[in-house]
Structure 1
Amino acid sequence: MQERQQSKRKLLFLIVFIHLLPQCLGRPQSKNGRYRQTFEEVKREIAGYKDIAKAIIDLAVYGKAQNRSYERLALFVDTIGPRLSGSKNLDTAIKYMHNALKENGLENVHLEPVKIPHWERGEESAMMVEPRCHNLAILGLGNSIATPPEGITAEILVVTSFDELHARAPEAKGKIVVYNEPYISYGETVQYRSQGAVEAAKAGAVASLIRSIASFSINSPHTGWQYYRSDVPRIPTACISVEDAEMMARMSSKGMKIVVNLKMEAKTYPDASSFNTVGEIVGSKYPEQVVLVSGHLDSWDVGQGAMDDGGGAFISWEALSLIKNLGLRPKRTLRLVLWTGEEQGGVGANQYYQLHKVNISNFDIVMESDEGTFMPTGLAFTGSDKARSIMREVMQLLQPINVTAVYENGGGTDVDYWVQDGVPGASLLDDITKYFWFHHSNGDTMTVQDPNQMNLCAAVWTVVSYVIADMEEMLPR
């Protein structure tokens, strides 16, 4: 009996010792039972990917895969064209990509059904009829209502801000409000596009025309989504070119009476059926854990949607293609998601999040490229300080192409649902000097894209996603 008790005590001591050993060594145990590495160990692990990172860069930038993402994108946008939410073009694009991912040999290629808005602009025009006849270049804003068939003919009121509109509200009644707001940044100035109709309607305006949210213009209107409020009358709204907005502002400042006739056939239909498109490389060791790379397939109905967001979608596909080409299989699953309904506020992505958030603890990082694929400058990242330190080490692997910086505010419309719940988020950061020249306009065509820059973007996207997916431990939250 005494020997049996001594054996039990020895066994108990051994169990306690094994449990405490990692803490004694400074290596706390993670929830899933694996040991949390020290930062120095993580640094050494990441440094060990130097040769793989170089192989990825060589293949993407100089090797057989050179220009592949560009050529794939050109064929896609030239064949299908713009892909507005709810349109036949978007349906065609999704079927095209579903087949392409299968032919590329990705695993678990499938479509996940969602409902997305269906709005069509129809015929539209705006004519200045006083003090002279002048055809205004316009693009109706998404979700706008139509005018009566004969249009709306009214005097305009030009304002530069919401504050000025509120101060001159008595003058706005029965008029078309024209916003000639100065471009500061997209994030700050876009409020005039999204809320301009509501604010004008509050003051009794019959329509609103918004100076395009663009940093440069060649008489090019830029469209985008706008929002109504249930407690405010809905009025038609469209964007006009920077040049026309400034012209009317100059004329108005000289006391001229300006009258415009606006015609819009815009119509909103019931929500349409659509799909998020998914393909994977299944993880070899922790397949339930996910590194998500993404871009959105839908676009506006002007241009080709090559820049927004064809480039981002296709370098995300390219990341998995490059990894397959090199015969690599990371420890955790690399999941490509091509979103639908992004331009209406991440509608498809929100439904994906609602479906998959039950497994949120298994999402290692969510990555989205949706601000162009111009010359890459680094990675924008949102996450804990420890995770940021790890990302800095990962980015050092991109020294051969001199893209090593880590910036703030990673994420994007489609992945922010996850980031707000604590999942690390990353977005490609590139030189967007010219991005808002073409954004949401007829200028968003394949001509904007540069194959060499896309190669570099693909290399960055692939190195980051592969290394994070293959490291022994998930990013700390």
Structure 2
Amino acid sequence: MKKQLFAFAISSLLSAGLCAQSQEETIKAVVTEATENSQLKLLAHQLLDVVGPRLVGSPEMKQAHDWAVKTYTDWGIPAENQQWGVWKAWDRGITHIDLVSPRSVSLEGMQLAWSPSTSAKGVEAEVVVLPEAKDSLAFQDMLSQVKGKFVLISMPQPTGRPDENWEEWATPESFEKMKTERDALNDAWNARIKATGYSSRELPKILEKAGAVGVITSNWSRGFGVNKVFSAYTDKIPMVDIALEDYGLLYRLADYGDKPVIKVVAQSKDLGEAPTFNTIAQIKGTEKPDEYVILSAHFDSWDGAQGATDNGTGTLVMMEAMRILKKVYPNPKRTILVGHWGSEEQGLNGSRSFVKDHPEIVAGVQAVFNQDNGTGRVANISGNGFLHAYDYLGSWLSAVPDEVAEIETNFPGAPGRGGSDYASFVAAGAPAFNLSSLSWNYWNYTWHTNRDTYDKIVWDDVQNNVILTAVLAYMASEDEDKTSREQIVLPVSSRTGEQMTWPEPRDGTRRGGLED
């Protein structure tokens, strides 16, 4: 009997050693494939250069979904586009804006998303500043001034230099003087808008109704040459955003009485409605196929540029991680599923719809790993309010190579309520974690801007995130235990004095930008 027990013990030790060796070899294979056979630049070229930005409802969005399915299929990973709704269909086309008087020069600017087009010949008209009125009644009397004109509705920035540039070069007195003057301008402009009786979102339609031929904004992002580009609020006339430098030129010409005239050619197309999708690909589990490790990244973007860091880089990380896992770990214990979500930018719509439509997958979630905030290497992970997240996530992280895992953790943390697609799963009680990146000036320079382009990608950091994601997915899949979903007891809100509650699941908007 003792000999049998001894033999069993030796066998167990050998098995443990083989498992440990197998884990070590698999992680080494992940690192080798990621560093020596990276496909990141090829994928980035295909997605960002060839397809381009991915505004929900645009032809480019559908092209991106189809490209992803084909790419996964070529890798031997089953994939499909799952429709979850419809959206206003729109094709940007080309925008061209020229100052034609008192001198000629082409201006930097573009239509806002879903803006109405001009005729093929374009629209040529004088530019005026939003009328300044003492109150809403006076504003109504002044609205006739905008008829047949382009109207400037954004504050003219006094400087196009970011604050850190001023801080580096200006005297302290000059820097403070600039900020004081800018604050005063901002207060005065806000008062000007308030006096109209409308919000900045309501004003474009009011100006359209009054006979304006176009509306001009400049949404500066506090960096050199950077504007944020969102959506239009007009129904029939073009709404364009113009770079700070050229917007300031137009404003000064109008303000000094030089009567600037511009010509705008905006060749967008209203295409009715288009289906909206999530692209889903899976490497099927061999032992626990109904339990899921989900890799998550939203696929859509705003279309001021290429959508490179929001969220091209997150998309690349998840695709490359899936490619590597298929090669070095083709028979996972649990199913590894990747979700490329549509319309995150308008309110997590793709992932919320997926959670609503697939309760059986949500019930089987082992972990969700989401990446969304730029090109930087992952530096922070929160337990998102799952009481025992440290026990399993900490164990998985311990297997990540030291040179990759310079990560601050916050356990148990608090449940994420928005911001990116992990929150859709957290609300449904599934353990979901955001792989939060270093900034690289993301918020000012690339988040939703006209400078979110291929050249802003930091390849070493993205490769770092691929290795991290692939190893976490491998470890989560191999874990002997199902992850705990026990939630922390949330504190009393200092604002309301009431007990805080876990976020509730919400369905996605299934008809976007369309009248019912």
TM over 0.5: yes
For 2:138 and 2:384, how far apart are their aligned partners in 1? 42
2:425 maps to what in 1? 418
Q: 2:466 aligns with which of 443, 449, 458?
A: 458
Of 237, 240, 245, 2:239 maps to 237
- What is the RMSD of the two structures over their aligned residues, measured on CA atoms? 4.3
In structure 2, the residue matched to 1:224 is 230
Q: TM-score, normalised by structure 1?
A: 0.70
AA aligned opposite 1:455: Q
Distance 1:168 1:468 in 2: 64
Matches within 5 A, 1:94-109: 94-106=65-77, 108-109=78-79
Q: After the TM superposition, which residues 284-433 of structure 1 pair with which residues of structure 2 at under 5 Å, given as runs?
A: 284-299=286-301, 303-327=305-329, 329-343=331-345, 345-357=347-359, 359-379=361-381, 382-387=384-389, 390-392=392-394, 394-398=396-400, 399-406=402-409, 409=416, 412-433=419-440
Q: TM-score, length-normalised on structure 2?
A: 0.65
After TM superposition, the structure 1 = structure 2 runs for residues 61-210 of structure 1, keeping only pairs within 5 Å, are: 61-62=31-32, 65-66=35-36, 68-77=38-47, 80-84=50-54, 85-106=56-77, 108-114=78-84, 115-129=86-100, 132-147=103-118, 150-151=122-123, 153-157=125-129, 174=146, 176-180=151-155, 196-202=200-206, 206=212, 207-210=214-217
Q: Give the letter aligned to residue 91 of structure 2.
A: E
SS in 2 for 1:463: helix
Q: What is the SS of the residue equivalent to 1:426?
A: strand
Q: How far does residue 75 in structure 1 lie from its aligned partner after superposition?
A: 4.7
String of CA shifts for 1:31-85, please: whole Å, max 9, x gaps: xxxxxxxxxxxxxxxxxx9978865664455556546142342452377331544
Q: 1:91 to 1:143 in 2, by over 3 A?
A: closer
User: After alignment, is 198-207 or 271-280 more displaced?
Assistant: 198-207
Distance 1:326 1:236, change over 3 A: same
* Cross-structure match for 1:16: none
Gaps of 5+ in 1: 1-48, 186-191
The answer to whether the 8 A contact 1:387-1:475 is kept is: yes
CA distance in 1, matches of 2:20, 2:236: 57
Partner residue in 2 for 1:40? none
Output the CA distance in 2 between the equivalents of 1:366 and 1:125: 43
Deviations 1:89-128 (A, max 9, x none): 444433332232123233x433323434321223433334
- The worse-fitting range, judged by mean Cα deviation, of 370-379 and 456-465 is 370-379
- Distance of aligned partners of 1:132 and 1:361 in 2 relative to their CA distance in 1, 3 Å threshold: same
Instruction: State whether residues 396 and 404 of structure 1, in contact with CA within 8 Å, keep that contact through their aligned partners in structure 2.
Output: no
Contact 1:141-1:226 at 8 Å conserved across structures:
yes
C-alpha deviation, 1:135, in angstroms = 2.9
Cα distance in 1 for residues equivalent to 2:376 and 2:37: 14
Change in CA separation of 1:422 and 1:157 when aligned onto 2, cut-off 3 Å: farther
AA of the residue aligned to 2:115:
S
Does 64-73 or 244-253 show the bigger shift? 244-253
CA deviation string 1:144-167 (max 9, x = no partner): 2234665263443269xxxx9989
Deviations 1:401-445 (A, max 9, x none): 242213674865444333333333322222232434245556444
| Paired AA for residue 73 in structure 1 | L
Displacement after TM superposition at 1:312 (Å): 1.3
Which moves more between the two structures, 381-390 or 421-430?
A: 381-390
Equivalent residue, structure 2, for 1:36: none
The answer (yes or no) to whether the contact 2:348–2:424 under 8 Å persists in 1 is no
SS in 2 for 1:416: helix
Distance 1:64 1:359, change over 3 A: closer
Report SS of the residue matched to 1:401: coil
- What SS is found at the alignment partner of 1:216? coil
Shift of 1:381: 5.3
* Pair 1:397–1:147, CA change in 2 (3 A): same
CA distance in 2, matches of 1:244, 1:52: 60
Matched letter for residue 217 of structure 1: F
Q: Which runs of 5+ in 2 are unaligned?
A: 1-18, 164-192, 194-198, 488-516
Give, in whole Å, the separation in 2 of the partners of 1:380 and 1:256: 56
What is the alpha-carbon distance in structure 2 between the residues aligned to residue 412 and residue 67 of structure 1? Answer: 33
Query: Does the C-alpha gap of structure 1 residues 52 and 250 become closer, same or farther in structure 2, counting only changes over 3 Å?
Result: farther
Alignment of 1:448 with 2:456, yes or no, is: yes
2:179 corresponds in structure 1 to none
SS of the residue 2:409 aligns to? strand
Q: Structure 1 pair 216/429, CA: closer, same or farther in 2 (3 Å)?
A: same
Separation of aligned partners in 2, 1:165 and 1:157: 17
Q: Distance in 2 between matches of 1:256 and 1:388?
A: 65
Report the AA paired with residue 358 of structure 2.
Answer: H
Give yes or no for contact 2:216–2:242 (8 Å, CA) kept in 1.
yes
CA distance in 1, matches of 2:254, 2:382: 43
Higher mean displacement: 253-262 or 345-354: 253-262
Cα pair distance change 1:396/1:138, threshold 3 Å: same
What SS is found at the alignment partner of 2:79? strand
Task: Please state how far the C-alpha of 1:223 moved relative to its aligned partner.
Answer: 2.9
SS of residue in 2 equivalent to 1:473: coil
